[in-house]
Structure 1
């Protein structure tokens, strides 16, 4: 992450990854339905390391990131351990780690079982990505198109490749950075309602682009409660570190518009299935009732903030790892219900 921009950005997210599973190794989801792979697109909630070799400060491949990851290695994931895309991949019985597509060490063996295209700090708005020099969401689709060509060579035929694509789950996390950076810092003159409509339109375009390439199962994530992120709570003058209701209202408005759009898409895209992934309310519940899940701090990140220059000893006690990203424990706490909903709606 670009910590020098913290006071003006509030937060930065990377959207991102989508995984695939070759049909011959497809995993049972519900009844006779199978998931061949998981693909993740979008921002840092899903990015597993695509920014590592980019000329950008929006990256997480340095200590203390990855402190609780296997081997204590900073992989480019914006968290203390595994992140949401990894946990969803495991929950769908695909694999425990979702590799980054731009990892120079990516193995061909990983291609049929899923990769991540997300990029820390990215968004649906081109200005969001350009500001930080990261991979804009439509450019992630270009990476996906390149991936499909490679997949054809690995699995040996277009028919097998199509089976992977059509039975994969496409996980999308976008809008966080657009609202928290581009909109909140005045880089657009739209009202919040008009900008939310524009973000939904861009999401619709993204989904249709993937649909035209063979995608059929979509898990589309809403934004986090952006006004309650530590970066938003700790802006100058907010000495009580209270949530910004105004920022949360904007995030909630976008989420409602997005959910409504997804409800209508199945009638316009034959054979497609959609699941709206609510990130806002589950995280807000952790923030409002932390003790129930064993958390003690909801206002500060465990690390990487002026309020926590030295990382905390136990990230599992914190809802947030840094100024914008949930801890691994938070993801693990909210994921089970989400995974069951994905299985039910995308079966």
Structure 2
């Protein structure tokens, strides 16, 4: 009888230990982000580029009203996802010179506004390419090992959520420079293949939970409407949206195959349909304006054209889907993150 009681006790201890182990493995210790202005929280601030936003009215709805280098009125998806994961309310930019070692533990963003999967995009914009972001990521892991040890670095690599967001700048700008080499189908395919290659390289460096955002309906951003949508109608640039959809149709099955091939979780995160629906039916989501940005007159203002001297900037950013003529407001980002992340985060555990 005593032997049976002892045996049951040992089994219960083993079950409890295994459950604790699974709970520990299910914890996401950090958020690591790569990509463009959607996820940049200030990496462009000290770069020799025109693509900056570390001045008012950018950041007018950020805590403290600070213009931090986020391309929005407030926080961006890097921050909102970090908050969703219970890590922090804001995610630091890796290039911030004031970062301390302990600031690295919950994760960082390497994203650089204006970059893309196509290396030419970063060259044209004088920003950090996604491939150089991988180099900085290696440096980041070395710092974690140096200050917190090999086990902590292993935990971050194996259990963190890695997010990749790019393609908009490639499609909207760089394609024009590539048009003699690619057509409107082959270029998005090239970008999708490059995105898959990027995920493979990230996996080789130890990442195991990777989410890749789809292209967005970039043809519907206010700047595209102003330039290509017709003087009076300012409709969406459907040719550009079709390229985005072509990119997505190539990327989605490729990532699904990669998920089956590799030991880990590789997610394709579809943001196209949600944002497009918001733009087509803004009142459904509580917005009033979808075809103009809040900053200035909302037709061309972006970066230095969106400045504190522009008298036309709206007072209620949350009524607008777009902050400037390219980037959504914090509230629009929040709607997207809330609608998507619950669905996809379940797959990480």
Fold match by TM threshold 0.5: yes
Deviations 1:231-278 (A, max 9, x none): 100116432111111111111110121111111002322x22022111
8 Å Cα contact 1:29/1:35 also seen in 2: no
Which fold has the larger relative contact order, with Cα–Cα distance below 8 Å and residues 6 or more apart in sequence? 1
Q: Is the 8 A contact 1:30 1:344 kept in 2?
A: no
**Counterparts in 2 of 1:97 and 1:208: CA distance versus 1, 3 Å:** same
TM-score, scaled relative to structure 2: 0.87
| The one of 260, 267, 274 aligned to 2:266 | 274
Partner of 2:333: 331
Q: How many residues align?
A: 318
Q: Secondary structure at the match of 1:261?
A: helix
Corresponding residue of 1:284: 276
Cα pair distance change 1:306/1:340, threshold 3 Å: closer
How far off is 1:335 after superposition? 1.2
**Alignment RMSD:** 1.9
Matches within 5 A, 1:168-179: 168-179=160-171
* Secondary structure of the corresponding residue to residue 274 of structure 1: strand
Q: 1:307 to 1:176 in 2, by over 3 A?
A: closer
Judge conservation of contact 2:214–2:248 (CA < 8 Å) in 1. yes
Q: Which has the higher helix share?
A: 2
**2:100 corresponds to which of 92, 107, 124:** 107
Match of 1:92 among 82, 85, 89: 85
The alignment partner of 1:275 has SS state of strand
* 3-state SS of 2:108 partner: coil
Q: 2:342 aligns to what?
A: 340
Deviation at 1:186, TM superposition (A): 5.0
Tell me, in whole angstroms, the C-alpha distance in 2 between the residues paired with 1:275 and 1:210.
Answer: 14
Instruction: Provide structure 2 residue ranges, at least 5 long, that are not aligned to the other structure.
Output: 1-20, 302-309
| Cα separation, 1, equivalents of 2:91 and 2:233 | 38
**Which residue of the partner structure matches residue 41 of structure 1?**
34
**Contact 1:173–1:221 (8 Å) recurs in 2:** yes
Q: Indicate the residue corresponding to 1:54 in structure 2.
A: 47
**Are 1:226 and 2:218 matched, yes or no?**
yes
- Secondary structure (helix, strand or coil) at the match of 1:235 reads helix
Instruction: Tell me the CA shift for residue 187 of structure 1.
Output: 5.4
Once residues 100 and 331 of structure 2 are traced to their aligned partners in structure 1, the CA distance between those partners, rounded to angstroms, is: 29
In the TM superposition, residue 327 of structure 1 has moved relative to its aligned partner by: 0.7
CA contact (8 A) 2:196 2:251 kept: no
Give the equivalent residue in structure 2 for 1:204.
196
- Structure 1 residue 217: Cα displacement: 0.4
Give the Cα separation in 2 of the matches to 1:219 and 1:324: 23
* CA deviations over 1:16-65 (Å, ceiling 9, x no partner): xxxxxxxxxxxx99996221110110100001000000000011111110
Aligned-partner SS, 2:201: helix
SS of match in other structure, 1:121: coil
**Higher deviation after alignment, 303-312 or 137-146:** 303-312
Range with bigger deviation, 237-246 or 116-125: 237-246
2:113 to 111, 120, 137: 120
Q: Distance in 1 between matches of 2:105 and 2:300?
A: 43
Larger CA deviation: 191-200 vs 62-71: 191-200
**Structure-to-structure mapping, 1:1-347, within 5 angstroms:** 33-155=26-148, 157-184=149-176, 189-235=181-227, 237-269=230-262, 271-304=263-296, 305-306=298-299, 309=310, 310-347=312-349
SS at match of 2:27: strand
Unmatched runs of 5 consecutive residues or more in structure 1: 1-27
Offset at 1:174? Answer: 1.0
Q: Please give the TM-score of this superposition, normalised by the length of structure 1.
A: 0.88
Structure 1 stretches of at least 4 aligned residues deviating more than 6 Å after TM superposition = 28-32
Q: Distance in 1 between matches of 2:271 and 2:22?
A: 22
Asked whether the equivalents of residues 222 and 299 of structure 2 are also in contact (C-alpha less than 8 Å), the reply is: no
Distance 1:30 1:161, change over 3 A: closer
CA distance in 2, matches of 1:281, 1:112: 33
Per the TM alignment, residue 158 of structure 1 is displaced from its structure 2 partner at its CA by 1.5
